[in-house]
Amino acid sequence: MAVDEALRQLLATARGTPFTACELVSLRQADGRVLAEDLRAAIDLPPWANSAMDGYAMRLDDLATQPLSVSQTVFAGQAPGPLQAGSCARVFTGAPIPAGADCVQLQENCRLDEQGRVSSLTTLRLGDNIRPQGNEIRAGAPLLAAGTVLNPIALGVLASQGISRVSVVSRPKVALLSSGDELAGEGAILGPGQIFDSNRVVLASLLDRLGCEVIDLGRVPDDPALLRAALTQVAGIELIISSAGVSVGDADCIGALLREAGEVKLWKLAIKPGKPFTFGHVGTIPLLGLPGNPGSALVTFLLLARPYLLARMGVARLEPMRVPVVAGFSWSKAGKRQEYLRVRLDGGRARLLENQSSATLLSAVQADGLLEVPAGETFEAGDVLDFLSFDGVF
Ligand code: AMP
Ligand code: MG
């Protein structure tokens, strides 16, 4: 199955099973969370016309009778009186514009005579250097839509509206486990044939960043009975994410569990790395079965599990941002599967990291992201391909 088709099916399922719980949080708790409500502007922004510069607020028509005496001084945070006819007002950046003034001249474009009267040295137009009321947004206009992932900028927009608490999608409860008889935990001394479990900390951290509540079920041996026992331990789970035990010829306990539960989907994806990615249900709980190889687990999480989770959280923009980059190497052997190459961007060109094995994480940590090579395609150095930056998906 093509990656796009797998994603389409996953997203259709996800949209049919949205996480509906939400909670009110303060802005400082809202970074990275998904906005659960459409928000409109509460106030005009700016709330009143104010000066963009340090200078003098005046009426354009009065410039015919310069110099103008200074009738008042307005700092940011003060409330000015109306502008006296034939005068100007000393204003500083952010100061409200006195009623009747229709432009601001920068102080460096003014000459002051001995009596402190002001002449403009350049011509002005109506509204110069004034930030009009409601220029940024009008009260009642759409501000942020439900499904927006709140980032520091969005939080600033909310703060500028005087909004201090927002409704966000509750953290989905995601159970995470690593399967495999060979896996040893942190602090262990490796026995024969054992390796340390690295997938779980990668996936747990990725899930944290997506705003999930991770329920860590730890390492589970390749034994469907133990696996089932682990999965029935915790209540309220909304999704299970596992790694390993899904490739054909493997001890294959995740696959066995899903087949037993009656449903396995999306076998053998045309993706490299990540072919054995699996989706199914344990009872009513969806399970995303990621491959065991660390490179494959990473790529399938980013390309399939992440958008699936975001879709269930109601996020509008699901797909990782793809940006065109110039390849700094050629690719002469077309693959049968869509391929994700670990590359580093040097001087704006993608450089291929040496070790592209699905079993290694080290080249992924050295990479800036993934270069997407469609199935059946070759390319030359200098050709442009889509690039997915790790920064963008983390
Ligand atoms: P499997 O999908 O079970 O066939 O595993 C594929 C490869 O990934 C094997 O070499 C496993 O030892 C390795 N592997 C499985 N789980 C993990 C894990 N949690 N951390 C690191 N490597 C793993
Ligand atoms: Mg295994």
Q: Where are the domains of the chain?
A: 3-20+171-312, 22-39+145-169, 50-131, 322-393
The whole-angstrom separation of Cα 382 and Cα 388 is 18
pLDDT of residue 30 exceeding 90, the answer is yes
pLDDT band (50, 70, 90) for residue 161: very high
* Residues 157-184, mean pLDDT to the nearest whole number: 97
The whole-angstrom separation of Cα 81 and Cα 99 is 7
Q: Is residue 45 in contact with ligand 1, taking CB distance under 6 Å?
A: no
Considering the domain delimited by 3-20+171-312, tell me its CATH architecture.
3-Layer(aba) Sandwich (3.40)
Residue nearest to atom 6 of ligand 1 (CA): 292
CB 33 within 8 A of CB 168: yes
* Residues 41-45, mean pLDDT to the nearest whole number: 98
The whole-angstrom separation of Cα 240 and Cα 282 is 9
- Cα 221 to ligand 2 centre (Å): 9
pLDDT at 250: 59
pLDDT at 319: 86
pLDDT band (50, 70, 90) for residue 111: very high
Q: Is residue 273 in contact with ligand 1, taking CB distance under 6 Å?
A: no
- Fold classification of 22-39+145-169 is Molybdopterin biosynthesis moea protein, domain 2 (3.90.105)
* Residues 376-392, mean pLDDT to the nearest whole number: 97
pLDDT band (50, 70, 90) for residue 252: confident
The whole-angstrom separation of Cα 343 and Cα 371 is 6
Q: Is residue 242 in contact with ligand 1, taking CB distance under 6 Å?
A: no
* Residues 325-332, mean pLDDT to the nearest whole number: 98
Q: Is residue 51 in contact with ligand 1, taking CB distance under 6 Å?
A: no
pLDDT band (50, 70, 90) for residue 251: low
Residues in the chain: 394
Task: Look up residue 30 and give its two tokens.
Answer: 């809202």
pLDDT tens profile 255-287 = 888 888 777 877 789 999 999 999 999 889 999
Phi, psi of 44 (to 5 degrees): -65, 145
The whole-angstrom separation of Cα 382 and Cα 329 is 8
Q: Is residue 245 in contact with ligand 1, taking CB distance under 6 Å?
A: yes
CB 80 within 8 A of CB 90: no
How much of the chain exceeds pLDDT 90, in percent?
Answer: 88
pLDDT at 211: 96
pLDDT at 52: 98
- Cα 233 to ligand 2 centre (Å): 22
The whole-angstrom separation of Cα 74 and Cα 52 is 13
Residue 152: count other Cβ atoms within 10 Å of its Cβ: 9
- Cα 169 to ligand 2 centre (Å): 35
Considering the domain delimited by 322-393, tell me its CATH architecture.
Beta Barrel (2.40)
- Fold classification of 50-131 is Molybdopterin biosynthesis moeA protein; domain 3 (2.170.190)
State how beta strands 110-112 and 285-290 pair. Answer: unpaired
Which numbered ligand comes closest to the C-alpha of 223?
A: 2
CB 87 within 8 A of CB 39: no
Task: Please give the model's pTM, rounded to 2 decimal places.
Answer: 0.93
Could you tell me which residues come within 8 angstroms of residue 287 by beta carbon, excluding any fewer than 6 positions away?
239, 240, 241, 242, 254, 258, 278, 279, 280, 281
183, 252, 301: residue to mutate for ligand 1 pocket, most atoms within 8 A of CB: 183
| Whole-number average pLDDT of the chain | 95
